[in-house]
Amino acid sequence: MSGFVFSEKPIGIERGEGVYLYDTKGNEYLDFGASYACTPVGHCHPDVVAATTEQLERLMYVQASYPNAPRTALYEQLATVAPGDIDNVWLCNSGTEANEAALKFARHATGREKIVATMQGFHGRTMGTLAATWKDKYRDGFEPLAGGFEFVPYGDAEAMADAVDEDTAAVIVEPVQGEGGINPAPNGYLQSVRETTESAGAAMVLDEIQTGLGRTGTLWAAEEYGVVPDILTTAKGLGSGLPIGATLVRDWVAADCGNHGSTFSGGPVTTAAAGATLDVITDEDLPSHAAELGTYLVEALEAAIGDEVREVRGNGLMVGVEVKRGANPILKELALNHDILALPAGRSVVRLLPPLVIDRGDADAVVDALEAIIG
């Protein structure tokens, strides 16, 4: 028997420390994908390991209907750092579940059906969130998905205003599209979506599963764009790789959110890991560091390979290099000849999502390698 869903890469990873991963032969790799943004504070950060290990020995699990100390602390911590007056927290185990809950809560609180999503958007792979995910590649052969979904072009405020009406429960949107190719929201777009949803009485769901936790240079991209959504979702890096997601919700949605639940919601070990991860991000001011290093990285890439590629774009340490040929051969060369692991975003974008703790030397190493490959 063998796994059959993922195709595996020919590198067996055995150990991780900070910005590095080590394979079974002892080779060291600079991890510029942070395993899909799941290790914002680096691999095996000692504070996260300590908090998690301590909790593992005390209590691994208790049913969600009893309070447990790390979960109570995380509720408080998330409500404190969430934008504006978002104060209610639902915890789950992945990004798709965080969005699934967001859409359920929005439908229940508004009593409406329609959900508007954006072209090229990615929100997960369950039957509900897949219905909000644009690309056929993810949907083919799985239909019918949940109904009531409509798509509008990303970045087009007018198309959004036309699509949202008195039947609309929610708009779901990423501040920077990740899987769709690293597409930052144009200036003013999210504010306009905020105004449109507010005047229609629909919930604005901001999917920060990839952008959040400091990646784009502020703790939430919502801050940078100056919007407070009704629902904000986070997952990926929240538990430094342990499975945890959160749906952060304003009072009006939380007050009438219907019956929802999950056996593993807010277990003591994953919430301990998340609390420690958030502490590191805020104590070390990693959002500011990501902003500074992101600017440095993008400028260095522009200088080294700007003429050789279509575009370098992104916010903070969420950077896409749109290349003229396919991204995959470049990623393969990066891994096998330069010991650097990065990610694709679609066919033609090399996606860089390093741990937020990288330094300038790490950025230089990636720029030099890409220059050697592309330049």
Ligand X SMILES: *Cc1c(COP(=O)(O)O)cnc(C)c1O
Binding annotation for pyridoxal 5'-phosphate: 95-96, 122, 207-210, 263
- Binding-site positions for substrate read 125, 262
Separation between Cα atoms, residue 310 and residue 140, nearest integer Å: 29
**Which residue's CB comes closest to ligand X?**
95
Which residue lies nearer to ligand X by CB, 124 or 294? 124
Q: By C-beta, is 128 or 338 nearer to ligand X?
A: 128
Nearer to ligand X, 94 or 277 (CB): 94
Q: Which is nearer to ligand X, 108 or 125 (CB)?
A: 125
> Least distance to ligand X from the beta carbon of 226, Å?
20
Question: Which residue spans within the chain are E strands per DSSP?
Answer: 13-17, 20-23, 28-31, 88-92, 114-118, 149-152, 168-173, 176-177, 183-184, 203-207, 231-234, 245-249, 311-315, 318-322, 340-341, 343-344, 349-352
Our CB check for ligand X shows the closer of 338 and 355 to be 355
* Closest separation in Å from C-beta 208 to ligand X: 8
Question: Shortest Cβ distance from residue 209 to ligand X (Å)?
Answer: 4
Which residues sit in the known binding site?
95-96, 122, 125, 207-210, 262-263
Give the Å distances, CA to CA, from 288 to 255, 295, 361.
Answer: 35, 11, 18
CB count in 10 Å sphere of residue 63: 10
Question: Which residues are near ligand X by CB under 6 A?
Answer: 94-96, 99, 122-124, 174, 178-179, 207, 209-210, 235-236
Give burial (CB, 10 Å; 0-12/13-18/19+) of 288: middle
- How many angstroms separate the CA atoms of 35 and 342, rounded? 8
Rounded to the nearest 5°, which phi and psi values hold at 92? -145, -155
